[in-house]
Amino acid sequence: MTADRGKNRPTTATETVAMHPRQSVEQVEEGRMLAPKFDDDGLIACVTTDAASGEVLMLGYMNRQALEKTVQTGEAHYWSRSRQTLWHKGASSGLVQTVEELRIDDDQDAVWLRVRVKGSGASCHVGYRSCFYRRLQVGSHRRPGDELVFTESSKVFDPETVYKDTPNPTQL
């Protein structure tokens, strides 16, 4: 998860995470330097899975600061597009995501976090374990009138109790 610093020691919260300019396809695809490609809004997609089960917990976005904080602290940080602020996952709920492994994809425009979640193990602000708690049939399995089907039978926690007066991040 941490950058190779000769002794593979953890990064401290005050150290800067080296993010290099993208100079060549070979450097980006085959090199050892972190050279992330942030989109026009300064964001990079981040898929987060449970380190033990492999279950997809959420899809979030990171800006440079969120990626740096994640590497420095070993806890997941994201950029909240709805609140337009840096977001330390679990700061309000206690459901902190401790990073077991951080990977970047082949062209360095997406991040994959494998995490362990403190508390109930939930990652969804709605109260479910995974943010992907509904399924829609596709292709030949789809029937007229098919709607979303819940894949989780119950919530892991009550969001009103956990978040109290924190505004819901879902926007219409």
- pLDDT, residue 5, reads 39
Can you tell me the distance from the alpha carbon of 146 to that of 130, in angstroms, rounded to the nearest whole number?
22
Cβ 115 vs Cβ 57: under 8 Å? yes
Q: Tell me the longest C-alpha to C-alpha distance in the chain.
A: 59
- pLDDT, residue 6, reads 41
Which domain CATH number covers 62? 3.10.20.810
- pLDDT, residue 26, reads 95
- pLDDT, residue 3, reads 44
Residue span of the structural domain in which 88 resides = 32-126
Please report whether residue 118 resides in a domain. yes
Please report whether residue 78 resides in a domain. yes
Each residue's pLDDT tens digit, 51-105: 999 999 999 999 999 999 999 999 999 999 999 999 999 998 899 999 999 999 9
- pLDDT, residue 54, reads 96
- pLDDT, residue 28, reads 95
Please report whether residue 1 resides in a domain. no
Tally Cβ neighbours within 10 Å of residue 55: 14
Please report whether residue 76 resides in a domain. yes
Residue whose C-alpha is closest to residue 63's, from 83, 84, 43, 86? 43
Q: Is the pLDDT score of 12 beyond 80? A: no
Confidence of residue 1 (pLDDT cuts 50, 70, 90): low
Each residue's pLDDT tens digit, 119-168: 888 899 999 999 999 999 888 888 888 889 899 999 999 999 988 888 88
Please report whether residue 140 resides in a domain. no
- pLDDT, residue 137, reads 87
Q: Is the pLDDT score of 32 beyond 80? A: yes
For the chain, percent of residues with pLDDT exceeding 90: 72
- pLDDT, residue 11, reads 55
Domain count, the chain: 1
Please report whether residue 49 resides in a domain. yes
Please report whether residue 18 resides in a domain. no
Q: What is the sign of the dihedral through the CA atoms of 148, 152, 153 and 155?
A: negative
Please report whether residue 80 resides in a domain. yes
Can you tell me the distance from the alpha carbon of 35 to that of 115, in angstroms, rounded to the nearest whole number?
22
- pLDDT, residue 146, reads 80
